[in-house]
Amino acid sequence: METVLSVLVGLFFAAAIYLMLSKHIIRIMLGVVLFGNAVNLTLFTAGRVVSEVPPIIPEALPVPPELTANPLPQALILTAIVIAFSIFAFLMVLTFRAYQELGTDDAEGMRVAEPKDDAMPPLGY
């Protein structure tokens, strides 16, 4: 199971990087979202994928008697989902406002702050 999830993580990262290298802002935004999901799946896979008992230790024992699920990756993933959703909402609003102001979703067309006629900046001291 972990091997399959590891391959899926690799595919998620590859697709996310491919989308983030695009010229269109919408594809870049979807790449960021996919990248966040790949990170979440990485945390999930690294935290041992087992269908064991919950991590509750009986009162009489100092340690669990059998293999238990690891609660830390679950807590990290839950926090990461909330953060990724807030970043996605911010990027969506930012992308919409940029499209309204500039009339394009092409990253090359959005280079208003970089005039084409200016010379190259100095490359050394």
> pLDDT tens digits, residue range 24-44?
999 999 999 999 999 999 988
| C-beta atoms surrounding 78 within 10 Å | 10
The lowest-confidence range among 8-12, 76-80, 105-109 is 105-109
pLDDT on residue 49: 67
- Domains of the chain by residue range: 2-51+69-102
65 HSE (CA, 13 A, CB side)? 4
**pTM for this prediction:** 0.74
Judge contact between 55 and 73, C-beta under 8 A: no
Separation between Cα atoms, residue 38 and residue 44, nearest integer Å? 10
State mean pLDDT over 3-8: 90
Task: Tell whether the model's pLDDT for residue 115 goes beyond 80.
Answer: no
pLDDT on residue 67: 76
43-66 per-position pLDDT tens digit: 888 876 666 667 778 888 888 777
Residue entry with tokens 């669990």 = 64
Contacts of 112 (CB under 8 A, 6+ apart): 102
Contacts of 70 (CB under 8 A, 6+ apart): 47, 48, 55
